[in-house]
């Protein structure tokens, strides 16, 4: 006798579900019994334009596999339109149980050349969008005293990367948002977790690959297909994850990673207090061995995906 689908009877909103990781999560959730709202405006990688075609393609795949899905082409980056995304779940399926904040754009540029438009566009979709959609669902979660959030973070924010100050700030901000939701809504049996996904998709195919080192890195990333991130998203959205909240996970090929949050690494004390000169002479030499290295994601995850 086969086990019941893990998300049977649940309704999920997956933003950015028109392609890549979002599409794979939407499909996996539908296969596991969830009714899915495919929320995607069909914009370009940098956030321009709009088309229903990507969402329609995702819906066609879900339908072919016997699942149930509807499309919403509203933007996550505005409060009113984000409300409509959640309302679409209520209108079509009568409830909402799962929110996957996956929608994203990129405006990669070195910090000293980044414009306010580059900054605001990325923050609005990733960070503000995660807040808007989550907040819209919170009223329903609170009334029914249940619900799950799965937010997409990134090692660009957790660790660091070149040319992504906007994206990195948004993605690390999302981890703090998720932890705050987990704390504030625990009393309503609502859970909130993050996934830092590793995958080759249109969000990563702009990585430069001109040097042998860069080409080797891209070859490693290409092995990590978007579907490798879907099982963790399904699990975190399911009742099987009832005790899991406020965490940040990574999915890298067949590796599952648990990330830590910043905590005190070393403390120095002086009963008489500190002067700038004493900090230079005593405190900083004592603290320096515990400094966070100025490293990047690719340097920390330097081994081939396994």
CATH number for the domain including 89? 3.40.50.720
Please check whether residue 85 is in contact with residue 37, taking contact to mean a CB–CB distance below 8 angstroms: yes
Assigned domain for 212 exists:
yes
pTM of the predicted model as reported, rounded to 2 decimal places: 0.92
| 93, burial (CB in 10 Å: exposed 0-12, middle 13-18, buried 19+) | buried
Task: Say if 213 falls within a structural domain.
Answer: yes
* pLDDT for residue 11: 98
- Does 274 reside within a domain? no
Q: Is residue 17 part of a domain?
A: yes
Expressed as residue numbers, the domain containing 20 is: 11-261
Give the count of beta carbons closer than 10 Å to the beta carbon of residue 239.
12
Residue 292 lies in a domain: no
pLDDT for res 209: 66
Q: What total of structural domains would you count in the chain?
A: 1
Is residue 239 in a domain? yes
Burial of 206 (0-12, 13-18, 19+ CB in 10 A): exposed
| pLDDT of res. 206 | 58
Q: Which 8-state DSSP code applies to residue 305?
A: P
CA atoms of 171 and 128, how far apart (whole Å): 11
Active site residue ranges = 167
**DSSP-derived 3-state class of residue 75:** coil
pLDDT in tens, the chain (306 residues): 568 899 999 999 999 999 999 999 999 999 999 999 999 998 777 777 777 799 999 999 999 999 999 999 999 999 999 999 999 999 999 999 999 999 999 999 999 999 999 999 999 999 999 999 999 999 999 999 999 999 999 999 999 999 999 999 999 999 999 999 999 999 999 999 999 998 765 555 556 667 887 777 667 677 788 999 999 999 999 999 999 999 999 999 999 999 999 999 999 999 999 999 999 999 999 999 999 999 998 889 888 888
Residues 212, 120: Cα–Cα separation, whole Å = 34
The per-residue pLDDT for 79 is: 98
199/252 Cα distance (integer angstroms): 8
pLDDT value, residue 303: 82
For residue 207, the model assigns a pLDDT of 61
For residue 289, is it within any domain? no
- The answer to the question of residue 296 being in a domain is no
């Amino acid at each position: 006798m086969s086990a019941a689908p893990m998300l049977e009877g649940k309704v999920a909103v997956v933003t950015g579900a028109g392609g890549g990781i979002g599409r794979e999560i939407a499909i996996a959730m539908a296969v596991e019994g969830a009714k899915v709202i495919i929320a995607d405006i069909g914009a370009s990688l940098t956030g321009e334009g709009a088309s229903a075609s990507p969402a329609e393609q995702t819906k066609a795949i879900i339908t072919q596999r016997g699942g149930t899905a509807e499309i919403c082409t509203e933007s996550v980056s505005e409060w009113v339109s984000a409300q409509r995304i959640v309302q679409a779940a209520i209108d079509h399926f009568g409830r909402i149980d799962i929110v996957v904040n996956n929608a994203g754009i990129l405006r990669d540029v070195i910090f000293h050349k980044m414009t306010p438009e580059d900054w605001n566009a990325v923050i609005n979709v990733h960070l503000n969008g995660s807040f808007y959609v989550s907040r819209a669902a919170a009223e329903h979660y609170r009334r029914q005293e249940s619900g799950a959030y799965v937010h997409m973070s990134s090692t660009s924010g957790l660790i660091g990367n070149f040319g992504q100050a906007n994206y990195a700030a948004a993605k690390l901000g999302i981890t703090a948002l998720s932890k705050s939701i987990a704390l504030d809504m625990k009393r309503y049996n609502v859970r909130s977790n993050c996934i830092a996904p590793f995958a080759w998709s249109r969000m990563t195919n702009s990585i430069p690959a001109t040097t042998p080192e860069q080409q080797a890195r891209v070859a490693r990333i290409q092995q990590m297909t978007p579907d490798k991130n879907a099982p963790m998203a399904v699990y975190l959205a399911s009742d099987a994850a009832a005790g899991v909240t406020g965490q940040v996970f990574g999915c890298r090929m067949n590796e599952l990673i648990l990330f830590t949050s910043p905590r005190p690494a070393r403390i120095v004390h002086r009963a008489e207090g500190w002067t700038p000169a004493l900090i230079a002479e005593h405190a900083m030499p004592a603290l320096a061995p515990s400094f966070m290295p100025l490293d990047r994601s690719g340097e920390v995850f330097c081994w081939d995906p396994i």
